[in-house]
């Protein structure tokens, strides 16, 4: 790669840090990295890239045409800003699948469906929701080689899946309850409790089907759990016929981004401890054979792996395609 790029990060502070870390390890040649503050940082918050401070720009003072690539981690309410960046000529990496439902926006999980990245009609390419990314990354070989009659995914969602404010609320509620101070009745209880996600499971299933049309029957169960970082999923696959899992096992073992453990399984917390200072991976374990099916357990830091690392790999793929 020879062209130097001007790149913008549009995300909360915690995710910007992880994106900058992933970009330092990438093969993209970046002349300048900037942060566009869609989510304002506090005075003490600052991003460093290659041991240098990163410029922070207020959103209303940003000229999108200054950038070649924009990593955008907003939600649907911020879609207009994404569209402005794309119209200004930026290649927008939609990190949370906001544009995933648009027919003319490619939905790509790097190394899984790269062949679907053909044309960027809107200058936007989407990474799926982290739940979909993690699941699809684990079943690509199964999906290609078997007819799956039933696919169930139970996602245990950490506070970081929502936003950094929810992480802070979980910490505050935990301390408050441990000190014997009751919560306000109007508060959504996060600490020491679980609750269902309001996100539409149909939208997640539609993202899976856009990547693998043969997987038209995926059911997502989503539960928010009192964990700060790291998403776990239990996946159950069933077929009407006997199928061989060996090809998928070999694919897991051959993939440098996958840590397959036959005898043990990591949890979101132990994964966070084990990966401190290490490259993020998708950890797979708890494999159990079922009649004409199987079940297994997935864990990853959804910000470092599903969004930051794979988002940067998606940008590398887009660059290699000539955009």
Tell how strand 48-49 and strand 30-37 pair up.
unpaired
**Token pair of 171 as six digits:** 């910490």
Q: Which residue has the higher pLDDT, 232 or 269?
A: 232
Q: Is pLDDT at 149 greater than 80 in this prediction?
A: yes
Q: Give percent of the chain with pLDDT exceeding 70.
A: 99
Q: State which fold the 131-300 domain adopts.
A: Dihydrodipicolinate Reductase; domain 2 (3.30.360)
Residue 71: CB atoms within 10 Å: 30
Separation CA 46–CA 168 (nearest Å): 18
The single residue listed with the structure tokens 């309850």 is 177
5-127+307-321, superfamily in CATH? NAD(P)-binding Rossmann-like Domain (3.40.50.720)
**Token pair of 43 as six digits:** 């005075």
- Segment 127-135 mean pLDDT: 97
Tens digits of residue pLDDT in 5-50: 999 999 999 999 999 999 999 999 999 999 999 998 988 899 999 9
- What pTM, to 2 d.p., does this model score? 0.93
Q: Give percent of the chain with pLDDT exceeding 90.
A: 75
- Segment 77-106 mean pLDDT: 95
Burial classification of residue 15, based on how many CB atoms lie within 10 Å of its CB (0-12 exposed, 13-18 middle, 19 or more buried): buried
Q: Is pLDDT at 148 greater than 90 in this prediction?
A: no
Distances (CA, A) of 32 to 7, 16, 318: 6, 15, 19
Could you tell me the residue ranges of all domains in the chain? 5-127+307-321, 131-300
**Token pair of 99 as six digits:** 């544009």
Fold match, 5-127+307-321 / 131-300? no
Separation CA 320–CA 79 (nearest Å): 26
DSSP string, 159-227: GGGT-HHHHHHHHHHHHHHHTTPPPPTTSPP-TT--EE--S-HHHHHHHHHHH-TT---EEEEEEE-S-
Q: Which of 14-28, 215-229, 237-251 has the lowest mean pLDDT?
A: 237-251
How confident is residue 1, by pLDDT bands cut at 50, 70 and 90? Answer: very low
Q: Which residue has the higher pLDDT, 61 or 242?
A: 61
Q: Is pLDDT at 227 greater than 90 in this prediction?
A: yes
Q: Which of 68, 55, 79 is nearest to 4 (CA)?
A: 68
DSSP-based three-state secondary structure for 48: strand
Separation CA 322–CA 290 (nearest Å): 45
How confident is residue 183, by pLDDT bands cut at 50, 70 and 90? Answer: very high
Separation CA 33–CA 295 (nearest Å): 42
Give the helix, strand, coil percentages of the chain, each rounded to 5.
Answer: 35, 25, 40
DSSP-based three-state secondary structure for 299: strand
pLDDT, position 147: 82
Burial classification of residue 89, based on how many CB atoms lie within 10 Å of its CB (0-12 exposed, 13-18 middle, 19 or more buried): exposed
Q: Give phi and psi for 77, each to the nearest 5.
A: -70, -15
- Segment 44-59 mean pLDDT: 93
Q: Which of 104, 150, 96, 149 is nearest to 123 (CA)?
A: 104
pLDDT, position 2: 52
Q: Which residue has the higher pLDDT, 226 or 245?
A: 226
**Token pair of 296 as six digits:** 């297994």
pLDDT, position 307: 97
Q: Is pLDDT at 145 greater than 90 in this prediction?
A: no
What average pLDDT does the chain have? 92
pLDDT, position 134: 96
């Amino acid at each position: 790669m020879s062209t130097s790029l001007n790149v913008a990060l549009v995300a909360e502070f915690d995710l910007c840090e992880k994106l900058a870390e992933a970009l330092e390890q990438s093969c993209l040649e970046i002349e300048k990295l900037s942060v566009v503050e869609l989510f304002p940082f506090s005075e003490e918050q600052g991003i460093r890239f290659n041991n240098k401070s990163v410029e922070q720009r207020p959103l209303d003072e940003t000229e999108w045409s200054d950038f070649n690539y924009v990593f955008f981690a907003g939600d649907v309410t911020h879609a207009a800003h994404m569209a402005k960046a794309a119209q200004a000529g930026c290649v927008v990496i939609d990190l949370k699948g906001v544009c995933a439902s648009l027919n003319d926006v490619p939905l790509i999980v790097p190394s899984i469906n790269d062949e679907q990245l053909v044309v960027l009609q809107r200058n936007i390419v989407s990474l799926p929701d982290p739940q979909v990314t993690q699941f699809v990354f684990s079943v690509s070989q199964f999906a290609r080689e078997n007819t799956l009659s039933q696919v169930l995914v139970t996602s245990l969602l950490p506070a970081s899946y929502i936003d950094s404010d929810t992480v802070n609320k979980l910490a505050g509620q935990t301390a408050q309850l441990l000190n014997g101070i009751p919560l306000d009745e109007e508060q959504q209880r996060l600490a020491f409790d679980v609750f269902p996600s309001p996100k539409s499971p149909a939208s997640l299933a539609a993202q899976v089907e856009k990547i693998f049309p043969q997987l038209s029957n995926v059911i997502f169960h989503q539960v928010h759990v009192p964990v700060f970082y790291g998403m776990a999923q239990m996946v159950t696959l069933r077929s009407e016929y006997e199928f061989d899992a060996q090809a998928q096992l070999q694919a897991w073992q051959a993939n440098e981004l996958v840590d397959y453990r036959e005898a043990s399984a990591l949890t979101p917390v132990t994964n966070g401890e084990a990966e401190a200072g290490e490259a993020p991976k998708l950890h797979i374990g708890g494999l159990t054979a079922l009649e004409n099916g199987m079940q297994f357990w997935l864990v990853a830091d959804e910000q470092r792996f599903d969004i930051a690392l794979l988002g940067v790999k998606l940008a590398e793929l887009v660059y290699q395609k000539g955009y």
